[in-house]
Chain A
Amino acid sequence: MSGTMIMISGEDYTDDPSLSRELVSFARQIKDATGEPFTIAVVGEEASRCTQDIVNYGAESVRVLSEAPEHQLWPEYDAEVLAQLCNETAVSTILLSKTLWGTEVAARLAAILDGSAAMDITAAAIANDTVEITRATFGGAAETKLRMIRMPAVLVPHPKIWAAAEAGSDVSPIVLFTSQVDLGTLQTMPEDRHRLVQGPDITQARILVSGGRGLGGPEPFKLLEEIASLIGGQVAASRPPVDSGWVSGQLQVGLTGKTVAPDLYFAVGISGAIQHITGCYNARNIVAVNNDPHAPIFQYATYGVVGDWQDVLPSFCKALESNLTSSREKIH
């Protein structure tokens, strides 16, 4: 067994720093078990900002790519560069976050280095000569224990299982590394990128008002928006509204979306498929509004309303509004 390497994309870090800090907790667990140190490698857009932030977490060093290609989002390039770094430093475990970038680079690294990879890890037992992990499979319906045979083992934890690490006082040295990757050998070519306005990060919200296919179209999301703003929450969604283009992919909760754990999660017109539940079962309270009394969502809900959202939500919204006005009147 030799060291662990955490890999972070600067852009992912900017979106949600806590995911990277969860990797630090995971790396500390490995260090406690094996005595092996961990390093952090940072690539991509906004790498320098992330680097400044991540130096206080006990890494042996923070490795930063000295120059980046013009195209900032290029998983093939990142994977080749990071594989080269792994070969130089002989790592046995590699940790990445569950983001689109993280899962793709994880799979690419496992392929390039001919190691093993596992996603959605919920527990790990790592000793000097074995890496055994537990992960969610079958959409979250099953739990699977795997022994990683080929090294390095590329591990992608399920979000919000490891707590986000706190910073310490020691400062890790920042060590630049240069790419030896010949761009001419890369087989994929990034072209235009289109970015929508960055929405709010649903993973940090205390209250989420989430809508599903049962809303029937993009228009009703305005009502969810209205409710969310009355109670200090944010809007989220299941996959069908994203697939149909009603809302942005940033709002998707679930297996291939984000993992959230708010105090209060409203599921409106969402059936409760396991791939959705996987992303929200750690919510403290789930309120389900669904006109099908047999919808699986009620198994996970704290409060349930069997009814059509079109009948239920307007009066719910009105009650919130009048409560808000009366509490304002009390203040004055």
Chain B
Amino acid sequence: MHIVVCARIVVDPLLPTTDLTIDPVRSRVVPSDGGQRVVNGFDEQALEAALRLKDENPGSTVTVLSVGEHVPWEVLRKLMALEVNDAVVVDGPSGDSHDSRSTAAILAAAITRLAQVDIVICGRQDSDWDNAQVPIRVARNLRWPCLTLAREAKVTGERVLVRRVLLDGWQDMSAKLPAVVTVTSELGELRYPTMKGRMAAMKRQPNVWSVSDLGVNSEESTELVDVHIAERSKESNCQFIDGDSGQSQGEQLAAVLMSSGLI
């Protein structure tokens, strides 16, 4: 079985808002200190889903696929410390844009070029643009089924079965291969690499393709007019409840909230 994991490089979603700024040339959010970006969290979990499938189906191969402008290999390479057979980077500005239509067209063309792909695993959304659209559009372009929000995925014969997360439980859903699957955080964290894996990853190189090579029409469905940092974190005016012990802080908190009429 050939499994493709779509991994996007994003700004670290845990950076505080105050550490973010706008790159005026490219109209996008970047870390103020120019710091390193990371692999989208859900995409690491997509790789975990792929590795579990590989464990259950020995002989499978896993390819990591990332589209973007100047994808930082030193970031993506961390994934190569695990049981990943290949990495393909498709270079081009349109793959890194806010628009899911153009990104999906490039990913679908790359998957077609990879050939013999049985299953494509994606994250539920990327933490930069929070679109939650690319995998569904990729599937549409390929005319493949798309199963979403998997916390578990199994392949039996020609079908893939996922357990989809619902707010009040779950639903099992299946589709014939080849298929696109998206995973959600309930799937669990990506496993740790071994020291040996990490050493070996240092020597790995990606296959680099360019968007123009793929000859794909990556017309956008939306135009970016403006992006700026949200003014959400107002001046902090938190009233701290002090006390010489946790116990007295707890008592004081109750008193303050009761006297202010909040409870």
Residues of A with Cβ closer than 8 Å to B? 15, 73, 75-76, 100, 103-104, 107-108, 110-112, 114-120, 132, 136-150, 187-196, 198-199, 207, 231, 239, 242-243, 245, 248-250, 255-256, 263-264, 273-275, 277, 281, 285, 287-288, 296, 298-308, 310-320, 323
Contact A188 B169 (CB under 8 A): no
Report A-chain residues with C-beta under 8 Å of the C-beta of B254.
Answer: 315-316, 319-320, 323
Q: Give chain A residues whose Cβ lies under 8 Å from the Cβ of B130.
A: 119-120, 136-139, 255
Chain A residue contacts of B220, Cβ below 8 A: 149
Instruction: List, in ascending order, chain B residues with CB within 8 A of A318's CB.
Output: 250-251
Please report which residues of chain B, range 1-46, place their CB below 8 angstroms from some CB of chain A when the two chains form the complex.
11, 13-14, 16-17, 20, 29
* Of listed A119, A144, A147, A192, residue having the most chain B CB within 10 A: A144
Residues of chain B at interface, number, CB under 8 A: 81
Contacts of A189 in B (CB 8 A): 173-175
A307 and B149 alpha carbons, distance in the complex (Å): 36
A285 engages B236 (CB within 8 Å)? no
**Top-10 shortest CB links A-B:** A311-B246, A187-B145, A315-B250, A319-B254, A316-B250, A116-B221, A111-B140, A191-B172, A145-B225, A150-B221
- Nearest to A304 among chain B residues (CB) is B238
What's the minimum C-beta distance from A2 to chain B, rounded to whole angstroms?
19
Known: A137-B129, A141-B29. A107 touches B137 (CB 8 A): yes
Q: Which residues of B contact A (CB under 8 A)?
A: 11, 13-14, 16-17, 20, 29, 98, 100-101, 124-125, 127-133, 136-137, 139-140, 144-149, 161, 165-176, 179, 184-186, 188, 220-230, 232-233, 236-241, 245-251, 253-258, 262-263
A134 → chain B closest CB, angstroms: 8
On whether A145 and B226 interact (CB within 8 A), knowing A137-B98, A239-B185, A311-B247, the answer reads yes
Contacts of A239 in B (CB 8 A): 185
Residue of A nearest to B231 (CB): A143
CB atoms of B230 and A142 under 8 A apart: yes
> What CA separation (Å) do A128 and B147 show in the bound complex?
36
Select one of A76, A120, A137, A149 contacting B128, CB under 8 A.
A137
Residue of A139, A188, A242, A281 most packed against chain B (CB within 10 A): A188
Q: How far is the CA of A193 from the CA of B255 in the complex (A)?
A: 47
Q: How far is the CA of A168 from the CA of B29 in the complex (A)?
A: 44
Check if B172 sits within 8 Å of A304, measured CB to CB: no
CB of A194 within 8 A of CB of B136, answer no
Instruction: Closest A residue to B228 by CB, please name it.
Output: A143
Chain A residues near B144 (CB, 8 Å)? 187
| A142 pairs with B29, CB closer than 8 A | yes
Cβ contact within 8 Å between B225 and A305: no
CB of B191, distance to nearest CB on chain A (Å): 16
Contacts of B256 in A (CB 8 A): 303
Question: Is there contact, CB below 8 Å, between B222 and A116?
Answer: yes
Partner of B168, one of A143, A242, A250, A316: A250
Q: How far is the CB of A252 from chain B (nearest CB, A)?
A: 8
- On whether the beta carbons of B174 and A305 are closer than 8 Å, the reply is no
- Determine how close the nearest CB of chain A comes to the CB of B247; give it in whole angstroms: 4
Q: Give the chain A neighbours of B13 by CB distance below 8 A.
A: 138-139, 273-275
CB-based nearest A residue for B135: A107
How far does the alpha carbon of A119 sit from the alpha carbon of B125 in the complex, in Å?
11
Q: What is the distance, in angstroms, from B131's C-beta to the closest C-beta of chain A?
A: 7
CB distance from A215 to the nearest CB of B (A): 15
Q: A142-B229, A305-B241 are in contact. Are A312 and B128 (CB under 8 A)?
A: no
Contacts of B17 in A (CB 8 A): 141, 274
One of B145, B147, B226, B238 near A288 (C-beta < 8 A): B238
- Chain A residues with Cβ under 8 A from B14's Cβ? 273
Q: Which residues of the partner chain B approach A274 to less than 8 Å between Cβ atoms?
A: 13, 16-17, 232
Complexed CA–CA distance, A140 and B165 (Å): 23
B23 to chain A, nearest CB (A): 12
In the complex where A107-B133, A116-B221, A298-B236 touch, is A146 in contact with B98 (Cβ < 8 A)? yes
Return the chain A residue nearest B130 by Cβ.
A137
Judge whether B169 and A195 touch: CB under 8 Å: yes
The CA-CA distance from A114 to B222 in the complex, in Å, is: 12
Are A300 and B229 in touch, CB under 8 angstroms? Answer: no
Contact B232 A140 (CB under 8 A): yes
Q: List 14 A-B contacts (CB under 8 A).
A: A100-B166, A110-B137, A137-B130, A147-B223, A188-B145, A193-B170, A193-B172, A196-B169, A250-B168, A263-B262, A296-B16, A304-B238, A307-B246, A311-B246
* List of B residues within 8 angstroms of A115 by Cβ: 221
Chain B contacts for A315, CB-based, 8 A: 246-251, 254
With A110-B133, A150-B101, A312-B246 known as contacts, the answer to whether A191 contacts B161 (CB < 8 A) is yes
Q: For residue B128, which residue of chain A has the nearest CB? A: A138
